[in-house]
Amino acid sequence: MFGFRKKKNKASPDHSQAAVSRGLLVFENTSEVIQAENLLKKAGWSVSVMGPPPEIRTGCDLVIVFPLMEELHILRELRRKALEPLQVVPVSAPLLAPVDLFQTKDFGDYLMVRAANMKITIAKGSRQIVNISGGGCPDVPYLAQAMIGQSLAAAPRPRDLGHTLCGYALELAYQELLRQC
Partner 1 sequence: MLGIVGTVPDLQFPLVHGKVRWQGRQIRIEGHTIPVNRGTPALIAASLRACECAGGPEVYAFLVGDTGVGEGSRRLYDFLARHLPEFDLQVLTFHYLQPDVDWHGRVLPAVQTMARRPILIADAGFMYAAKMSGQARHYDFFTPDVGELAFLADDQAPHPFYTRGFILHQEHQVPDLIRQAYGHGNAAACLVVKGSTDYIVHDGSIAATVEAPSCDAMEAIGGTGDTLTGLLSAFCGAGFDRIEAAVLAARANRWTGALADPTPATQVPELIDKIPEAVSHLLDHKDYRSTPHGGA
Binding site for partner 1 (CB under 8 A): 1-7, 9-11, 29, 51, 61, 96-101, 105, 107, 109-110, 112, 114, 116-117, 119, 121, 123, 130-142, 144-145, 148, 162-169
Give me the least distance between CB of 38 and partner 1, in Å please.
18
Residue 72 vs 106, nearer CB to partner 1: 106
Q: Which residue pairs, CB below 8 angstroms and at least 24 apart, start in 128-133?
A: 128/152, 129/155, 132/170
What sign has the CA pseudo-torsion 4, 8, 10, 15?
positive
Amino acid, single-letter form, for residue 180: Q
Residue 128 Cα distances to 54, 147, 176, angstroms: 40, 9, 15
The residue type of 48 is S
Would you say 25 or 50 has its CB closer to partner 1?
50
β-sheet bridge partners, residue 133: 119
Is residue 59 within 8 Å of 28, Cβ to Cβ?
yes
Closest to partner 1 by CB, 34 or 74: 34
* CB-nearer residue toward partner 1: 37 or 61: 61
The H-or-E segment that residue 77 falls in is helix 71-80
Whose Cβ is closer to partner 1: residue 67's or residue 98's?
98
Q: How far apart are CA 38 and CA 135, in angstroms?
A: 23
* Least separation in angstroms between CB 59 and partner 1: 13
Shortest separation between residue 22's beta carbon and partner 1, angstroms: 18
Closest to 131 (Cα-Cα) out of 140, 142, 139, 119: 119
Q: Nearest approach, Cβ of 16 to partner 1 (angstroms)?
A: 20
Q: How far is the CB of 181 from partner 1 (least distance, A)?
A: 15
